[in-house]
Each structure stands twice: as C-alpha cells, then as structure tokens.
Structure 1
Amino acid sequence: MARTDFLNVDLDVETQNLDELIPILEQKLVLVSQGGPRATFELNEQPANPDEAIQGLCAAIESLEGRARDLWDACTARSFDIGIESGTEPHSTIWPLQVDTLTRVARLQGTLAITVYSVQQRPDAKEP
C-alpha cells in the first residue's frame, strides 16, 4: 500500500543574473538543478512538513543583504513548490500553512505551487 507523503519544497528561481545568484544561495541552500535562466534549491536538511520547509527557505532569503538581496529582488520568478507523492493511504492528508508563512512568502514576492507526483509502482508489484 502506497502512502501519500510530503517530499520537500523546491525554491525555483528565474533570473538573468543566475550565475551571480547561485553561489550566493549555495552558501545557505542546496542547488538541486539548473538550466537556462532557472535554478532549483532546497534546504540542507529534510523538513518535517511544508510549513517548516517554507519557513526555512524564507529565513535563508531574508538573511540576504546588499547585492545578494538586490539579485533576489531582480528575479522574474520565485516559486516555493511543495512536492507531494500521491498514494492510496490515508484517504486524505492535510499539511497546513500558517499565516506567518504565507505572509513571509508574499513579502519575498514569491508564489506557492503544489506538485503532486503519481505513486511509483514497484517493479515486483503485481497488476490487479
């Protein structure tokens, strides 16, 4: 039986200044991928839930100063993307986001996204 699980929150950014922004953010976050003007970052440690992950990402960005903060402000996209792996159990799962979390994202001019991944069937699982 596959469980529905929170995976992580990706911070997706898009900017023409990516080559300058990446080394700055890598001091605080893990670079997951990069291509063209887009890059994806995550926290160094696995958060327990989406709210905790977004709070941690916000704290990293809020600590930027001077040129680093200017580079963040120049981004054309800033998405906090909650990753969920779907499953058959439990029937429903709720991961609340606190008002303070939503306020912090808004202050950083970010958007929220939710990506739901289909449950992966194990190679040894039998078809019904």
Structure 2
Amino acid sequence: MRSEADAPTRFANVDIDVHGETGVAEFITALGRKAIPMYREPTWASFELNDTFSDAQSCLDALTAAIENLSPEARSLWDGFRRRTVNIGVRAGTRPHSTEFGISQTTMAALAAIGCEITFTVYAPSAAD
C-alpha cells in the first residue's frame, strides 16, 4: 500500500467552529441532519456539513447557503455567537510541487456577510494512512 507521503496534496474538509456564551447546543440541534457535530462544549462547537465535497469552494458555498436559509430563531443564534470560523483542511502530500485552492470573491463576500473568519489547517502526510 502506498503511504500518504506519496499521495498528492488535496482538499480534506471544512470544519465550522462557533463560540458563544449561550445557544451553542441549541444551534447544533437546529441544524439537524444538515451537520455532523465533531466536538461540543457548553460555549463552543465544531461541526461539518453532512455532505461530501471535492473542493473547498463548493463546501463553502453550501455552508453560506445553509446559514442564509436558517430559521429566524437559528439565524439569531448564529448571529449572536462571538466568533464563527470556517477551518479549511488540506491534506499535504509530496506532489505536485505546489497546489492552489481558490475561493471566489463572491464566496468571500458571502462568508463575510454571515460573519465568518477563515482559518486553514494543513495536515502533514502520514505514513500510517
């Protein structure tokens, strides 16, 4: 089996992290089957959309659409969080020499309109994979 160190660099996923004094559990519940909770504490949670995406652009577009279409109650919870972060994960490989992952200006504006920060996490290759 080929190790991940021999694999190409690729998009992995997008996690969405929310931080707030109240409403975190209620917000995750309001998302229902649209999201998969990854981690939850009383004042913050991390979740992913319950779908598979081949690139960050399509995932971010789906996320902004999901937030824009929330019920008024759930949108009020979202807007009330002190921090909303999309964390774009990239699995590093040894090829090609460089890889670009673009995000359109329209998507950047949509993320800003829903109050999101953007973070990137690059995961090192793992020989165990």
Q: Same fold (TM over 0.5)?
A: yes
What are the ranges of 5 or more consecutive residues in structure 2 without an aligned counterpart?
1-5
Kept in 2, the 8 Å contact 1:83–1:114? The answer is: yes
Q: Which residue of 2 aligns with 1:48?
A: 54
Q: Does 1:109 align with 2:102?
A: no
What amino acid is aligned across from residue 101 of structure 1 in structure 2?
T
Q: CA deviation at 1:62?
A: 0.6
Within 5 Å, which residues of 2 pair with 1:10-49?
10-15=15-20, 16-49=22-55
Within 5 Å, which residues of 2 pair with 1:48-127?
48-122=54-128
Q: CA deviation at 1:122?
A: 2.5
Q: CA deviation at 1:33?
A: 1.6
Distance 1:36 1:79 in 2: 17
Greater share of residues in helix: 2
Kept in 2, the 8 Å contact 1:58–1:104? The answer is: yes
How many residue pairs are counted as aligned between the two chains? 123
What amino acid is aligned across from residue 18 of structure 1 in structure 2?
V
Instruction: Sort the Cα spacing of 1:120 and 1:36 in 2 relative to 1 into closer, same or farther, 3 A.
Output: farther
Q: Does 1:8 align with 2:13?
A: yes
Q: CA deviation at 1:54?
A: 0.6
Distance 1:120 1:26 in 2: 33
Instruction: Please list every run of at least 4 consecutive aligned residues from structure 1 whose deviation after the TM superposition is greater than 4 angstroms.
Output: none
Q: CA deviation at 1:29?
A: 1.6
Kept in 2, the 8 Å contact 1:12–1:80? The answer is: yes
Using the TM superposition, name which of 12-21 and 55-64 deviates more: 12-21
Identity of aligned residues (%): 34
What are the ranges of 5 or more consecutive residues in structure 1 without an aligned counterpart?
124-128
Which whole-Å deviations, capped at 9, do the CAs of 1:54-75 have from their partners, x for residues lacking one? 1111111110132111101001
The two structures, once aligned, show a CA RMSD in angstroms of: 1.4
Kept in 1, the 8 Å contact 2:25–2:42? The answer is: no
